Amino acid sequence: MKKITLEVNGKPYALECPDSELLIETLRDRLGLLGTKYSCLEGECGACTVLLNGENILSCLALSVEADNAEITTIEGLAKGSEPHPLQRSFVDKGAVQCGFCTPGMILAGKALLDKNPHPTDDEIARGLDGNLCRCTGYIKIIDAVRHASKK
């Protein structure tokens, strides 16, 4: 067991967790942040995407002890109260949400991309989202939504 401190969505958490615990387990099972999904648990699907110090990473491939003192953003941390983040709003408006299972990871990957590159081309958007699988949409409306948010 290790004592660690995580800053999740702006709130500090002092936790004691097993050395071998993965970040996805800490977020879902200890902190109840169920917006972080998982589907494959092998780093292929991107449903467990979170932002670690602003970069999109896969929480099924990260040890919680290695996230000690890091800033983590999950999908629950994007909106300001009932005011959605511009990316959340454009995903809704542009029809980019179908079953919704990939949506949290997609939006976070989109945020990491736009934070680094505020005006991406469509190819750059596609590249930025290449770690996140979606089986419903064919990605076209998702790419639309990120492009739309980048123009705001």
Q: Which is nearer to other proteins, 7 or 43 (CB)?
A: 43
N- to C-terminal Cα distance for the chain?
A: 45
Our finding on whether 94 is near other proteins (CB under 8 A) is: yes
Residue in this structure with the two tokens 């990871």, named with its chain if needed: 105
84 binds other proteins (CB under 8 A): yes
Q: Can residue 70 be called a binding residue for other proteins (CB under 8 A)?
A: no
The site for other proteins, by CB under 8 A, has a size of 77
Contact set for other proteins, span 7-36 (CB under 8 A): 18-22, 24-25, 33-36
Per rule CB under 8 A, is residue 118 in the interface with other proteins?
no
Interface pick for other proteins out of 3, 42, 115, 121 (rule CB under 8 A): 42
Q: Determine if 103 is a binding residue for other proteins (CB under 8 A).
A: yes
d(C-alpha 68, C-alpha 117), whole Å: 27
Q: Which is nearer to other proteins, 72 or 101 (CB)?
A: 101
CA distance 128 to 3: 34
Among 12, 55, 115, 121, binds other proteins (CB under 8 A): 55
DSSP secondary structure string, 47-98?
TTEEEETTEEEEGGGSBGGGGTT-EEE-GGGTSBTTB--HHHHHHHHTT--S
Q: Among 7, 13, 30, 98, which residue interacts with other proteins (rule: CB under 8 A)? A: 98
Q: How far is the CB of 37 from other proteins (least distance, A)?
A: 7
Under rule CB under 8 A, residue 40 binds other proteins: yes
**Least CB distance from residue 12 to other proteins, whole Å?**
20
Distance CA 91, CA 71 (A): 25
| C-alpha pair distances (Å), 56 with each of 61, 78, 84 | 12, 14, 19
**HSE-CB of 124 using CA atoms within 13 angstroms:** 12
